[in-house]
Every structure is written in C-alpha cells, then in structure tokens.
Structure 1
Amino acid sequence: MDTFISQNVRYLARPEGRVSYTVEGSGPLVIAIPGMGDLRSSYRELVAPLISAGYRVAVMDLRGHGSSDTTFHTHGDIATGQDLLALVAELGGPAVVLGNSMGAASAAWAAAEDPRAIAGLVFYGPLLREAPSSSLARAATRGLYRLALARPWGGAFWARFYRSLNKGTRAPWLEQQVAAIRSMLAEPGRLRSFRELALQLDHSVVERRLGEVTAPMLAFVGALDPDYPSPAAESEWITSLGGQSRLVEDAGHYPHAQRPEITVPGTLEFLDTLRGATTGEWAARA
C-alpha cells in the first residue's frame, strides 16, 4: 500500500461513523479535501512543501473513502462540509482549506456556514455549481452512475474515467494512484459508499450560498478540464465571485497533481498573504 495513504491515520468521530485523516507539521492549520472517488495521496505534491513552509497540514478522506468508515448513508457537499468544520474544531482552527472538485464545494459551503472557522480557500478543479442541464439529463446521469458503479465492473469503470480527467500533463505517479483507488474500491462496502455519494451529489446546495463566502479564495482551473463546458469561462466566473482564479495550461481536473510546478508555489504565495506578519498565524479578517 502507498505509505502516504497508510501512515499515521487518525479518526474523527461523526454521527454515522468515523472520518479518517492525517495531520503533520506545526503552525497555522491547513486542511485538504480530495474529490469524489479519490484519496488523500492526491495531495502528495503539496503536503511536504506546506510542512516545510511552517504549516500544520491535515488531509482528510471523504466518507466511505480511504480509511473512513463505510457506515455512512448521508453523503455530499453539505455532509463533507460538516465533517470539515468538525475537524477544524477538533484540531483547533481556523484553517485554510484546500479542495479539489467536490472537496472545493464542501469547503465553500463550510466557509458560508461558519466564516470564523475558515481563514481562506484554495481550489483545484473546483465544482462549485451544477452544470446547466435538464431534469431529464440529470436523471440520466444518475442512472449511468447507478449502473457504472455497480459490481463487478465499478472499480474498472472509475479507473478509466479517473484517467480521462487527467488530460494534458500526467503526474508520474498517476498509475500508482489509480491502482490505490481500485484497491480501495475493492474493499467491502466502498463501492456502495461511492455509488451513494455519486447519486446524492448536488452542487446547487453550494452555489446558492456562494454569496455568503467572505474568505479569500484562489482557484486553479485546468485549461483542459473536461468537467467544464469551458474552463476559461469557469475561471472567469470564479473571479466574478470575488476570488482569484488562474487557468493552468496543459492540465485537466487535477491541476494540483498534474502541474505542481505551478500550483505548489502559487498556493504557498497565497497562504503567505493570509499569514500575519508578526504573529505567524492566520491574519484576522474584518
């Protein structure tokens, strides 16, 4: 097993089960959340540089993913956002949150729900709203997920789809990540949990609360991300929300993994602007 996945796992007790996470380093708290169907190890390019820069870095798993329990029946952006806020309280916040895909949506919801807990947001391939579609199209997508994420082919389907989201430059460890994801989904209960998440996921619950987010925001949008009708337009829309957004060339849905030479220094620079010059902690916001 990938040592990044297995090392020093801790558990956060929640009403329906436990959410797994790791935490290392010292300093202002940074919490990272992977996207749907992914693992903590997707943040391997960021963790060591953040720790070296003087941050305490926690990386959490989604419900039913990684080492988290499979006893959960409630999934999605709000449930994950609630888990995030509970982890901030457990570790002693506030925190800057890094989020990929639905992890970004969950972080945005948490920032609206409890602004004092979230000092800043950094997104990679964020899905902050539902793509425009008819109710019939949405029903068809859920039907596809129900079929595609069933046994015995569900793990293989997701592995192919996950690779396809890595358009452009691919991380040298992509195949290792895919193998770890397939191994995880082969464990009892995990494919069912993943399917339940896919069927329950609805980013509209986040979109309608984006106006309440006051935390500073930086997004990295892959210029080749197939999850957007137009990545450039999505980047511009995020900027219109009051955040910063950077279009990352030759990257798809995982710019933090695909183009770390851009996203790692960009993330560190952003965090530095949020850190108090004298205290070294997250600067208070008016």
Structure 2
Amino acid sequence: MTADYTDVLIPGPWRHEFVPANGARFHVALAGPDDRQAPLVMLLHSFPQFWWAWRHQIAALGDAGYRVAAMDLRGTGASDKPPLGYDVPSRTRDVAGVVRSLGAERAVVVGHGLGGSVAWSMATLQPVVTSAVAALAAPHPARLHVSLRSLLTRRGVARLAQLQVPFLPERSLTQTDLLGQLLREWGATAWSDGVVDTYRTALQVPFAVHNSLEALRWYASAMPSGSGRRYLSAVRAPISVPALQIHGERDGLFRADLADVDSTALCKDLRFELVAGAGHFLPEEAPDLVTEILLEWLETVAGGGVSRS
C-alpha cells in the first residue's frame, strides 16, 4: 500500500505552504501572525514521524504571537525526497534555507529526537540564522564524555541495530506493527490506533520510509567516516545562544541519567527540564507541559510574540 503526499497535509488550525531551500522544496505547517516581524519558531520532528508530531504545540505557540513553522524534514512527509542529503549538516542547511525562504533573518529552532540533533547542530553549523535552540529527547550530539551507545538504553541499542539492516526495516515499518512497537517501546504512554495509522500512512508516501531510515542510519553509523568526524569536531564548539533541553524520565531510547552530560559542558545558557512519567515522544506524551515550558522559555529568549489583535 502506498500513500500520496497530500495525505499528510492534515487540516487543522494551521496552513500548509511549500518553500524552496537548498535545492529542494519543503513543506511547512504555519501558524501565528502573518507578520515577518514576529519571532519565527521552527519545529523539527523526529523518526518515525513528520510535522504532525507538533500538532499540540503549533496553534498554542501561534496564538501566543509567534510565527510557527513545523517543517517536514528532507525525505519525509510532503517535502521533497531526493536520493542524497540525509546527513545532519545537510539538514541544517535545509533548515537555514527554509528560515530565509520564510523571510526571516533568524529563528528559534526547536527539535525533537533526530530533529533535536539538527537543532543542536544549528547553533554551531548555522549560527547566522539561529537565535536559540531547544532539544527534546535529544542529548547533545558532540559525544565529548560518552559514546552514542552509552547514551542509549539497552533496548534502544538493539532496536537501532535492527534498523541498520538494509530493506527489511522499510517493509516492516509499513507492513507490520514495527512502527507501533517503536512508539510503545520508546514512549511511556498508550498510542491510539489512529495516531499509529497516521504515522504509518506518512511512511507509505513513496520513498519516505527509506529516506527516514537513511537519516537515522547516518546519525547512528556514519561517525567513523571523514564527514562524521568533521561533523563531530564542528558541533563540539561552545554554544553561545540560549538553549533548552527537555527529557522524559521514562525515555525508552535515550538514558535520562546521561541526557545532559555534554549539553551542560558546552552551553553557556542552558535550561534543563526532566519530565516525570514521560517517554521519548514528549510533544505528544506531555503536550501541555511541553507547551508551557516552551512558552515560558521563549518569553525569555525571543520576547513576547506579536499581538494578533
């Protein structure tokens, strides 16, 4: 079974637009004032999701006067799916290009999971367009003190190894309950059939499941390569912009006790929040608290949003 990219243009209190950036076309779900003077907040999703993972935050941040753009990262959702460019440095160039295409000079970049790794990387790889960063369920990628394997739970190590296998995970994510299993194992709450089906539909858009896995595979296995070493060297630079890190106490992928090891060492202005009872998928598992924390933090780093009255 396959789906069409229009299947992920889910209606709601947002509007869908397509913008060019870095040689590709990207889908964004927009909310908030149509005013380029309003602070821009970019929301970046994780694997195995797409922009809809931020559905609980998009309208709330927009209603607070921020210009919100929940982006489908390269290869996912309704964005273009070229054969290359699934490394984190390329994805930061995508995000920087979308910021500029939306008419903004700078943005607060908020990412979850793999999107959180992109958000962390924006601070050092794309500093000109990045005013602050927030990372949810995403340890800093520098790996100064601990390896990626050490950051993962035992079950997370096993699952990531399974997802490195060619071809089989692509079939399993779209044709079996593997997607539901990942959501349940990494998260800490129940998932409705409707939510799981929505994410499965998004992966059934042609090339989406393979490209989503390519991004995960690069992050998990490319570090011994030359490009991986250069990336790690770049992101080990100190972060001067304000940073927020939120982690779930019951995250089934990344260990909560080591989540802030490298971010504490590298960030001059870091706020760290540990959410009790929540797992890996914080924007959906603790939507009200995540929104509250984001709004409070945004007030300090971006000022109040533009009034919509």
Range that drifts further, 73-82 or 11-20: 11-20
Query: Of the candidates 198, 201, 204, which is equivalent to residue 186 of structure 1?
Result: 204
Match of 1:42 in 2: 53
TM-score (norm 2): 0.77
Paired position in structure 1 for 2:259:
234
Residue 256 of structure 1: CA displacement?
Answer: 2.0
Instruction: Name the structure 2 match of 1:222.
Output: 248
Higher relative contact order (CA 8 A, sep 6+): 2
Q: Return the alpha-carbon distance in structure 1 between the equivalents of residues 185 and 247 of structure 2.
A: 16
Counterpart Cα distance in 2 of 1:234 and 1:246: 10
Query: What is the CA-CA distance between 1:4 and the residue it aligns to?
Result: 4.4
Between stretches 28-37 and 198-207, larger displacement belongs to 198-207
For residues 19-75 of structure 1, the C-alpha deviation after alignment (integer angstroms, 9 at most, x for no partner) is: 211222122110100012211111111111111111000010121211012223220
User: Match for 2:278 among 245, 248, 251?
Assistant: 251
Q: How far apart, in 1, do the equivalents of 2:118 and 2:272 lie?
A: 18
- Secondary structure in 2 matching 1:37: coil
Partner of 1:154: 173
Q: Deviations over 1:170-212 (max 9, x none)?
A: 47xx533321111122222222222322332248555541424
Paired letter, 2:293:
G
Using the alignment, how far apart are the partners of 2:206 and 2:213 within structure 1? 13
Q: How far did residue 270 of structure 1 move? A: 0.4
Q: Does 1:213 align with 2:239?
A: yes
Q: Does residue 164 of structure 1 match 2:185?
A: yes
2:109 is aligned, of 82, 93, 97, to: 97
Letter in 1 for 2:64: A
3-state SS of paired residue (2:30):
strand
- Is residue 272 from structure 1 mapped to residue 299 from structure 2 by the alignment? yes
Contact 1:16-1:72 within 8 A present in 2 as well:
no
Is the CA contact 2:139–2:260 (under 8 Å) kept in the aligned structure 1?
Answer: no
Q: What secondary structure, in the 3-state scheme, does the structure 2 residue paired with 1:63 have?
A: coil
- Supply the distance in 2 between the matched residues of 1:125 and 1:216 (Cα, whole angstroms): 17
Matches within 5 A, 1:111-122: 111-122=123-134
Q: Equivalent residue of 1:200, what SS? A: helix
User: What CA deviation, in whole Å up to 9, does each residue of 1:190-248 have, x standing for no partner?
Assistant: 222223223322485555414242210011101111222x3022135433333221111
CA contact (8 A) 2:119 2:134 kept: no
Identify the match of residue 110 of structure 1 among 115, 122, 126: 122
- CA deviations 1:140-174 (Å, max 9, x no partner) are 927744254232x232323321232112x447xx5
Q: Which consecutive unaligned segments of at least 5 residues does structure 2 have?
A: 1-6, 142-146, 151-156
1:20 corresponds to 2:27? yes
Alpha-carbon distance between aligned partners in 2 of 1:207 and 1:251, rounded to the nearest angstrom: 29
Aligned residues: CA RMSD: 2.9
Question: Contact between 1:63 and 1:72, CA under 8 Å: does it hold in 2?
Answer: no
Specify whether residues 164 and 148 from structure 1 end up closer, same or farther in structure 2 by C-alpha distance, changes over 3 A only. Answer: farther
Contact 2:120 2:134 in 1 (8 A): no
| Aligned match of 2:63 | 52
> What's 1:284 paired with?
none
CA displacement 1:108-132 (0-9 Å, x = unmatched)? 2122123231111121101433513
Q: What is the TM-score with the length of structure 1 in the denominator? A: 0.83
Say whether the 8 Å CA contact 2:93–2:126 is kept in structure 1.
Answer: no
The alignment-based identity, stated in percent, is: 22
Distance 2:237 2:22 in 1: 29
In 1, Cα distance between equivalents of 2:306 and 2:199: 37
Amino acid at match of 2:77: G
Flag structure 1 segments of 5+ consecutive residues without an equivalent. Answer: 282-286
Contact 1:61 1:67 in 2 (8 A): yes
Question: Which amino acid is 2:28 matched to?
Answer: Y
Verify the 8 A CA contact 2:140 2:260 in the aligned structure 1.
no
Alignment coverage as a number of residue pairs: 271
